[in-house]
Amino acid sequence: MRYNGSPTLPIIANTYSVTADCGAVPNYAAGDDLAAGNFVIVAATEITYGATGQWTYYDEVINDEMSTYDFTYPPVGAPLGDGSARLTTTASGSGSKKSIYTPQFAGTKLADITALRYHTYATGASAPASLQFNVDFDVTDSGPGSNNWQGRVNYTPSMNGTVTPNMWQEWNAFTGKFWYSSGSIPPGLTNQACTVGNGGCTIAEMLADHPNMGVHAALNPDGVTIDLGYAFFGFYAVPDSNANVDKFVISTVSSNFAFDFEPGTSTVTLSCPGSVTYNGSPQTPCTAEATGIGLTTVDLTGAIVYGANTDAGSATASVTWAGNDTHSGDSDSGGFYHCCCSRNCDGRRRIGNLQWFESEPRIMCGSRSLYSRTELFQQPAIGGSQCRILPLVR
C-alpha cells in the first residue's frame, strides 16, 4: 500500500505489510517511521529568516548568540521547501566554530524521542554539520548541581556513513552512533564510554547507562535564571565549513516536527509624487527600495519601468526585485500625473481624448500660474495633488 493522502485498503481482512511513502505527498513532510504498519505524518514547521525565539545562530568561540541569520536558497534541491540553513565558518578565531539551535526541546527525555533525522549539504571539502544537544544525564533530579553544564551529545555524519560532497544527504540519527563531548559525565549503570575512539554509542546504549538523560533545561547552573542557551538542540559546524542543513525531523511521544529553513521575505516600496510639471520630456520622479529583516536596503530607483510618461496626463511606474540568496523577491507599482503648466504643452494636435480650448485657461501648478494655450482632459479635468484648473479667462 502506498499512502497518498487517501489510503487504499485491502478488501480481505488480514495482516498486511505497509510501505509508507509520505515524502512524495506535498501536504506532508515525512513519515517518522517507515517500518511496516507504523508511521506518523509530520507537518512541516517553516522557520524563516529572523524568526527570533525559534532558532538562533551561536558563535561557539566567544560563546555568544549572533544577531544575524543565514537562511539561503542555494544549494538547489533542498529536501523541504526551497531554502536551508547555512553554516559558514572561518579557519580560526571568532566565527570559526558556529552553530544554530532551538531551545524548544528543553527538558525532553532522550527516551521520549521517537524519530531524529536531518539532511546535510557539504560544499567541496567542508565537513557536514553535526547534530548536537546539551545533555542533562538525569532530567528528573533537582537540587544543587543538578543544572550544571554536563556537555553535549553529538551525532557526526562521518561516523555514521560516507559523506558525499556537493549533494544533499539524509542522516537517520535515531539509529546511529553518538559520542559525548566535554562536561562532566556522572557514573552510570553500565559506565559505557561513548567516545569517538570507541565508535560512539547508540541511543539504546546511552539509555541503558543513563535512563533519565535528556536535553538540558533552559536554566543556568543556579537553577533559577532562565538561559535558553543551556537547552541547546541543533547543528554545529567546525572551522572552514560551508555546510547547509534542512528538513530536521524530530518526534517525541507528544509532538512531531519537520523543520523547514527558508530565506526571509522582502518588501519592495515604490514612492511617486502625486503630480509633476510636464515639460515635454519623459519624467522619472519615482524612487524605489527593497527592505526586509536582516536585509541591507536595496536601492531600486534605477530599475523602475515607466509608462506613458512622455505626454501630459497619467503616467505609470513599476519595479520588480528578483531577490537574493537570503531573501525572496517582490514588486510594486504606482504612478503620477503630468500637470500641463507650461508653454511646452502648446501645440495643434489631439492626444487621446484631450480637447483643445481656444481661450487660455488659467492653470495653477504648485505655486506657479501661467496663461497658455493648454490641452485639457475632458474627463476628468487635469488633477493631482498639486495641479488644478481655474476658471477660463476671456
What is the tens place of the pLDDT at every residue in 170-199? 999 999 999 999 767 889 999 988 999 999
Q: Which domain holds residue 2?
A: 1-42
Same domain? 20 vs 61: no
Same domain? 155 vs 237: yes
Q: Is the pLDDT score of 268 beyond 90?
A: yes
pLDDT of amino acid 35: 30
Question: Among 262, 288, 310, which residue terminates a domain?
Answer: 262
Q: Is the pLDDT score of 74 beyond 60?
A: yes
User: Residue for cell digits 510618461?
Assistant: 309
Q: What is the mean pLDDT of residues 136-152?
A: 91
Same domain? 6 vs 80: no
- Reported confidence tier of residue 326, pLDDT bands at 50, 70, 90: confident
From the list 366, 368, 358, the residue with the least C-alpha distance to 392 is 358
pLDDT of amino acid 144: 85
pLDDT of amino acid 50: 56
Same domain? 34 vs 49: no
pTM to 2 decimal places: 0.72
Higher pLDDT, 151 or 40: 151
pLDDT of amino acid 345: 45
Return the C-alpha cell found at 385. Answer: 495633488
Question: Among 221, 236, 262, which residue terminates a domain?
Answer: 262
Return the C-alpha cell found at 8. Answer: 487504499
Same domain? 96 vs 231: yes
From the list 137, 139, 110, 134, the residue with the least C-alpha distance to 202 is 110
Q: How many structural domains compose the chain?
A: 3
- Reported confidence tier of residue 40, pLDDT bands at 50, 70, 90: very low
Per residue in 81-104, pLDDT (tens digit) is: 999 999 999 999 999 999 999 999
- In contact, 269 and 50? CB cutoff 8 Å: no
Higher pLDDT, 370 or 200: 200
Same domain? 110 vs 32: no
Same domain? 28 vs 72: no
Same domain? 100 vs 205: yes
Question: Among 11, 26, 42, which residue terminates a domain?
Answer: 42
Same domain? 98 vs 34: no
User: What are the Cα distances from residue 172, in Å, to 118, 119, 135, 169, 280?
Assistant: 7, 9, 20, 10, 69
Q: Is the pLDDT score of 18 beyond 50?
A: no
Same domain? 89 vs 138: yes
pLDDT averaged over the chain? 79
Same domain? 253 vs 303: no
From the list 352, 329, 289, the residue with the least C-alpha distance to 82 is 329
pLDDT of amino acid 223: 80
Q: What percent of the chain has pLDDT over 70?
A: 73
Same domain? 78 vs 153: yes
